[in-house]
């Protein structure tokens, strides 16, 4: 009898389970439905089936720009590496913390007294973070010294970079990036080679010799004795292939050039990050002083300005609203990290990544982001440890529209298809001859296996949308741009 009851209960359980549909595991990909809009179905089809994304992650967040309402969300709350989309937060925090009209100051100071044509003391160049100093700015300082009647500096030429700490690299910067412009050292006293303002770098150019067998001709911008060139390259016949390598040796300012360049061939050029940019800035000032006939009797070295040092002259940078153009349009990593340190100095009294990132996190929260889901390790996005969900970036882009500095922020974003470098920036060759051309205003991002694009677009029907696309775990990060452009163009077509 007991056995019979047991069998009946088992049969009953089987019958009941048969009536309950099996629970399907939730897919990380959004599934297309008949009820979904045509836009949703098109996006789902692309994100689920494009071979570029096979094995990767695609965080996509689209909002109505007027209401902030999510129009589309594809794993939008999953934390992903943002690459240079991190700069969207850094720029917003800098505008909010420092202000649109904030300027960096560089001071020329002196100790001792001026007697006749001699400065009986030291001449001190004190940096306060300006990443835009050019050779002509050091020339202007030298002219000021000459106008004061000084022909001899009896003391030393000193560079003071103590406005920030002495940690030159952000925590996660790869060793393989350190000699290139995008991995340049961050110092409170630095210099740039041209008006792209890649601080702490020199431009090294290699031209062919007149005949095969000759050494190639090497030029630097700006000219500086701070860099030592070792030229191991050679000029070859004009029908041979160009293969030139320009690289700085670790821990030094020795730049080695190797390879071959054909007669009448085009130049090779690299932006090379210097080792210890404080000395680089000092060397440029020393050259400018020499060009004005001013002699320095003492040493040229790093040091600290005494509190009683007298102000000789000062230089003001462009305001941040103008610095945002090369910063955001060209995705300048050095500007991002400088702004992080400057925010730390201004708010916390310490020009360090630690204090600057504390300010960045506080501003992220103030600007509507959920700081509990963010991992912030630098200001540029070069770190592979940074993590931000796409929904948080689109939320930031929605919230900043109400800020008084928003027009400067929007103006700094690259514009699709505009060939002017300082307008189209990193989007100047993308989405041409589509509805996105001249319409999409967005920040690009790219590091190994990662690609991102976030910004604003106006649809064909006149609706303003905010979008964020963050692609991770790609086998070819460059291919991610294809997906981003498809999405942005699809939105512009609506």
244: nearest Cα among 231, 225, 253, 254: 231
Q: Give me the domains of the chain, ranges plus CATH numbers.
A: 38-101+320-493 (3.40.710.10), 105-168+277-316 (3.50.80.20), 201-273 (no CATH)
**In 345-453, which residue ranges form alpha helices assigned H by DSSP?**
353-366, 390-399, 406-411, 421-424
* pTM of the model as a whole: 0.90
User: From the centroid of its chain, how far is CA 461?
Assistant: 34
- On the question of pLDDT at 2 being above 80, the answer is no
Band (175; pLDDT cuts 50, 70, 90): confident
* Cβ pair 397, 64 in contact under 8 A: no
Q: Is 331 a catalytic residue?
A: yes
137: nearest Cα among 271, 288, 320: 288
Question: According to the model, what pLDDT value does residue 461 have?
Answer: 94
Strands 450-458 and 464-472: antiparallel
Lowest mean pLDDT among 1-15, 199-213, 478-492: 1-15
Burial of 130 (0-12, 13-18, 19+ CB in 10 A): buried
Average pLDDT over residues 173-193: 93
The residue from 87, 345, 395, 486 that is catalytic is 87
Question: According to the model, what pLDDT value does residue 31 have?
Answer: 39
The residue from 192, 268, 331, 383 that is catalytic is 331
Question: Under the phi-then-psi rule, with left for phi > 0, alpha for psi from -120 to 50, and beta for the rest, what region is 381?
Answer: left
* Cβ pair 158, 303 in contact under 8 A: yes
**Residue 12: which H helix or E strand, with range?**
helix 2-19
Lowest mean pLDDT among 32-41, 64-73, 97-106, 462-471: 32-41
Tens digit of pLDDT for each residue in 318-341? 999 999 999 999 999 999 999 999
Band (476; pLDDT cuts 50, 70, 90): confident
Phi, psi of 220 (to 5 degrees): -130, 145
Query: What Rg, from alpha-carbon coordinates, does the chain have?
Result: 28
Question: According to the model, what pLDDT value does residue 36 have?
Answer: 62
Mean pLDDT, all residues of the chain: 92
Tens digit of pLDDT for each residue in 352-402? 999 999 999 999 999 999 999 999 999 999 999 999 999 999 999 999 999
Burial of 198 (0-12, 13-18, 19+ CB in 10 A): buried
- On the question of pLDDT at 19 being above 80, the answer is no
Question: According to the model, what pLDDT value does residue 478 have?
Answer: 86
Q: Is 87 a catalytic residue?
A: yes
Phi, psi of 266 (to 5 degrees): -75, 155
Distance from C-alpha of 427 to C-alpha of 323, rounded to nearest angstrom: 18
- On the question of pLDDT at 30 being above 50, the answer is no
More confident residue, 29 or 49: 49
Tens digit of pLDDT for each residue in 389-436? 999 999 999 999 999 999 999 999 999 999 999 999 999 999 999 999
Tens digit of pLDDT for each residue in 246-261? 999 999 999 999 999 9
Question: According to the model, what pLDDT value does residue 1 have?
Answer: 35
Average pLDDT over residues 152-178: 93
Neighbours of 207 (CB within 10 A): 15
Q: What is the DSSP string of 173-198?
A: --GGGTTBGGGPPP-SS---SSTT--
Q: Is 192 a catalytic residue?
A: no
Neighbours of 241 (CB within 10 A): 10
Buried b (16+ CB within 10 A) or exposed e, 171-190: eebeeebbbbbbbbbbbbbb
Average pLDDT over residues 53-77: 96
- Roughly what angle, to the nearest 10 degrees, separates helices 38-49 and 480-493? 170
């Amino acid at each position: 009898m007991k056995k019979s009851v047991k069998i009946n209960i088992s049969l009953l359980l089987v019958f009941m389970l048969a009536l309950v549909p099996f629970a399907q595991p939730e897919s990380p990909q959004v599934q297309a439905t008949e009820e979904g809009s045509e836009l949703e179905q098109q996006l789902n089809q692309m994100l689920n089936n494009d071979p570029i994304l096979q094995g990767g992650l695609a965080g996509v967040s689209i909002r109505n720009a007027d209401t902030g309402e999510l129009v589309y969300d594809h794993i939008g709350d999953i934390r992903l590496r943002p690459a240079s989309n991190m700069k969207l937060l850094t720029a917003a925090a800098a505008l909010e913390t420092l202000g649109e009209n904030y300027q960096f100051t560089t001071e020329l100071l002196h100790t001792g007294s001026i007697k006749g044509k001699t400065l009986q003391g030291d001449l001190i160049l004190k940096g306060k973070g300006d990443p835009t100093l050019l050779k002509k700015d050091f020339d202007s300082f030298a002219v000021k010294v000459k106008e004061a009647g000084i022909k001899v500096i009896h003391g030393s030429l000193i560079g003071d970079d103590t406005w920030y700490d002495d940690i030159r690299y952000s925590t996660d910067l790869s060793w393989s990036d350190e000699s290139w412009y995008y991995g340049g050292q961050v110092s409170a006293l630095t210099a740039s080679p041209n008006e792209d303002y890649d601080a702490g770098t020199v431009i090294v150019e290699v031209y062919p010799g007149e005949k095969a067998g000759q050494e190639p001709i090497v030029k630097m911008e700006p000219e500086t004795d701070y860099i030592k060139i070792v030229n191991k390259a050679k000029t070859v016949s004009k029908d041979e292939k160009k293969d030139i390598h320009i690289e700085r040796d670790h821990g030094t300012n020795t730049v080695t050039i190797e390879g071959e360049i054909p007669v009448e061939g085009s130049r090779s050029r690299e932006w090379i990050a210097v080792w210890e940019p404080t000395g680089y800035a000092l060397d440029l000032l020393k050259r400018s002083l020499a060009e004005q006939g001013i002699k320095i009797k003492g040493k040229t070295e790093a040091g600290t300005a005494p509190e009683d040092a007298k102000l000789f002259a000062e230089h003001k940078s462009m305001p941040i609203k103008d610095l945002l153009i090369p910063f955001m349009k060209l995705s300048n990593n050095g500007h991002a990290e400088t702004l992080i340190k400057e925010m730390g100095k201004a708010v916390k009294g310490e020009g360090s990544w630690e204090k600057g990132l504390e300010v960045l996190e506080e501003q992220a929260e103030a600007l509507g982001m959920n700081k509990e889901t963010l991992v912030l390790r630098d200001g540029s996005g070069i770190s592979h440890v940074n993590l931000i969900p796409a929904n948080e970036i689109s939320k930031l882009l929605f919230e900043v529209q109400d800020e008084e500095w928003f027009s400067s922020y929007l103006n700094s974003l690259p514009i699709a298809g505009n060939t002017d470098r300082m307008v189209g920036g990193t989007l100047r060759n993308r989405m041409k001859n589509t509805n996105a051309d001249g319409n999409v205003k967005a920040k690009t991002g790219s590091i190994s296996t990662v690609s991102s694009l976030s910004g604003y677009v106006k649809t064909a029907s006149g609706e303003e949308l905010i979008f964020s696309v963050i692609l991770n775990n790609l086998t070819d990060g460059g291919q991610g741009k294809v997906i981003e452009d498809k999405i942005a163009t699809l939105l512009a077509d609506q």
